[in-house]
Amino acid sequence: MKVVPPLAAYFCIVTSTFGVVILAVLGLGFSQDWEPLMGQTSDPEDKDAVARTLFITAGVFAAFLAFCGCQVFVERRIRL
């Protein structure tokens, strides 16, 4: 069942891919205590909670990526 238009699905794929990569790298940085992220005077007090939140958000973006990928697949299948 087609839910979103094809161009919106392609846009969703691009932005979701970017979101997954960026959020996963930031989550990794907070979990590994990288100096550029944790070396400031206003550090988050619970770096593990910040990393966990970033990884969960990356998972949400991955779910959108999968959904939009399915929408593109359905659109291509309808056209054939």
Kindly tell me if the per-residue pLDDT of 4 is higher than 80: yes
Within a domain: 32 = yes
What range defines the domain where residue 12 resides?
6-36+47-79
**pTM score:** 0.84
Domains: count for the chain:
1
Within a domain: 23 = yes
Within a domain: 41 = no
pLDDT higher at 37 or 70:
70
Long-range contacts made by residues 9-14, C-beta under 8 angstroms, separation at least 24?
9/68, 9/69, 9/71, 9/72, 9/75, 10/68, 10/72, 12/64, 12/65, 12/67, 12/68, 12/71, 13/65, 13/68, 13/69, 13/72
Q: 3 falls in which pLDDT band (50, 70, 90)?
A: confident
Percent of the chain with pLDDT over 90: 59
